[in-house]
Amino acid sequence: MEFTSLVDTSLDLNFRPLRVSDELPKQEVESNFIGLGRDLVPVKDEASNLIEELNRVNAENKKLTEMLTVMCQNYNSLRNQLTEYMSKQNSSTSGADQDQNSDGSKKIKIENNNNNNNNNEIVKSSVQVLNSESSSCYEDSSTKKPREEHIKTKTSRVYMRTEPSDTSLIVKDGYQWRKYGQKVTRDNPCPRAYFRCSFAPGCPVKKKVQRSIEDQSIVVATYEGEHNHPRTSKPESGPSTNTSTASRLNVTTIAGTTTSVPCSTTLNSSGPTITLDLTAPKTVEKRDMKMNHSTTSPTSGNSIRTTTTTSAAGGEYQNRPEFQQFLIEQMATSLTKDPSFKAALAAAISGKILQHNNQTGRW
DNA sequence: CGAGTTTGACCAGCGC
DNA sequence: GCGCTGGTCAAACTCG
């Protein structure tokens, strides 16, 4: 994945569309396309045609950007409708549900791009407020325990990106774990490892670690329970270790207190993801909670900070124009950094060019 | 030798 | 009741 940082193949179709005809010297454009071995027609005619094509592609690029913007807006409105619907359902459900909600069992899943810390550089591009019971696409079928147990034991899920060559299921999160079992589950050929916190004898926390079925470089760690002791060590990360580390997001409550909640960076089919688990900190107010999303890299110290305001009802912050703008920017950046998207786009463009040339009988 | 890991066996919950 | 599945146990094994 990091190869994109080595070779910039970005189409940059976002807000500064690449104006090939303006920015590239004409000769370079000509030579680039002549290099394709299509020198069967006079070069000058071909060059002007190609420039024409480039302009057309450029316009198409702009169109795609606009489409993306519209898509993002549609996405936002749909999501708002969904969260509105979910909040309505929550308010009309039983006390048990209310207990669960007051437990803060919401997750904010933040997609991100940028991975220049090898594993865990964090940049967010969108925020989803999700109920914990449908908290992610990685929700495994193993959590079939009765609802009461869900309420009593806090569970959180952390996604971590690891080196593809790293086959271990070790997640260094600052605690000391003892593995007590491993099992191959039905819906995932990768084995699931079971860990218990071994630092304190009475610590009830358990952890399940399994690679994602979608992207095996992603490790999904599910934590159950709360530690009754402090961390044993600082989380390790960086190139020196093979394993990734769960980062933590600082969440500032409306009272001004700052607490740290677990979060992680991942990469799945929909792009890099940060998962923020709001179940952990007790100090976080659910209603009119002011969140200070300070996403930092443990090693690089780089941080991107945005302040948004959310609420239990579904997050007015999502409607803020600056947030939506940020969302659109980050989604577009994610797309342009996605090799498969670029390949598909390139194929579509080249297909269109070929189609056009076939129709005009040239090339 | 102790701590941690591996792995097959066992148990409980659930659906049919 | 039976089979399937996830979770746990515990003996054997490995490693420092």
CB A273 within 8 A of CB A109: yes
pLDDT for residue A246: 37
The pLDDT of residue A363 is above 60: no
- What is the residue range of A193's domain? 155-224
A208 Cβ contacts chain C strand, under 7 Å: yes
Is A177 domain-assigned? yes
How many Å apart are CA A76 and CA A64, to the nearest integer? 18
Determine the average pLDDT of the residues in A318-330. 54
E strand or H helix that includes residue A91: helix A43-91
The dihedrals phi and psi of A220, each to the nearest 5 degrees, come to -105, 115
Structurally, how many domains does chain A consist of? Answer: 1
Q: How confident is the model at residue A83 (pLDDT cuts 50, 70, 90)?
A: low
Nucleotide nearest to A181 (CA to C1'): C8
Q: At what angle do helices A321-336 and A339-360 cross, to 10 degrees?
A: 70
Distance of alpha carbon A226 from the chain centroid: 26
Quick one: DSSP state of residue A305?
E
Residue A192 lies in a domain: yes
What CATH code is carried by the domain that includes residue A188? 2.20.25.80
A2 touches strand C (CB under 7 A): no
Q: Name the residue with tokens 């991100």.
A: A112
Q: Does residue A195 form part of some domain?
A: yes
Kindly state the average pLDDT of the residues A153-157.
73
Please tell me whether the overall predicted TM-score, pTM, comes out greater than 0.85 for this model: no
Residue A175 in tokens: 């605690």
Instruction: State the nucleotide closest to A146 in CA–C1' terms.
Output: B13
**What local confidence, expressed as pLDDT, does residue A185 receive?**
83
* Stronger pLDDT, A207 or A284, i.e. the higher one: A207
Q: Tell me the CA–C1' distance in angstroms for A34 and C8.
A: 67
Q: Is residue A208 part of a domain?
A: yes
Does any domain span residue A174? yes
pLDDT at residue A327 tops 70: no
Q: How far is the CA of A99 from the C1' of B12 (A)?
A: 27
For residue A178, being part of any structural domain is answered with: yes
**Any domain includes A198:** yes
* Closest amino acid to nucleotide C4 (CA–C1'): A186
The residues with which A218 forms a beta bridge, in sequence order, are A161
Higher-confidence residue of A131 and A38: namely A38
State pLDDT tens for residues A88-141.
655 544 333 333 333 333 333 333 333 333 333 322 322 333 333 333 333 333
Q: Which two tokens stand for residue A196?
A: 């218990």
Distance linking the first and last C-alpha atoms of chain A: 35
Asked whether the beta carbons of A248 and A260 are under 8 A apart, the reply is yes
Which tens digit of pLDDT belongs to each residue from A212-260? 877 777 888 888 877 777 665 544 433 333 333 333 333 333 233 333 3
Instruction: Give chain C positions with protein CB within 7 A.
Output: 4-10
- Nearest nucleotide from residue A208 CA, by C1' atom: C7
Domain membership flag for residue A211: yes
Say if residues A282 and A154 touch (Cβ distance below 8 Å).
Answer: no
Please state whether strand C lies within 7 Å of residue A146 at its CB atom: no
Question: pLDDT class for A204, splitting at 50, 70, 90?
Answer: confident
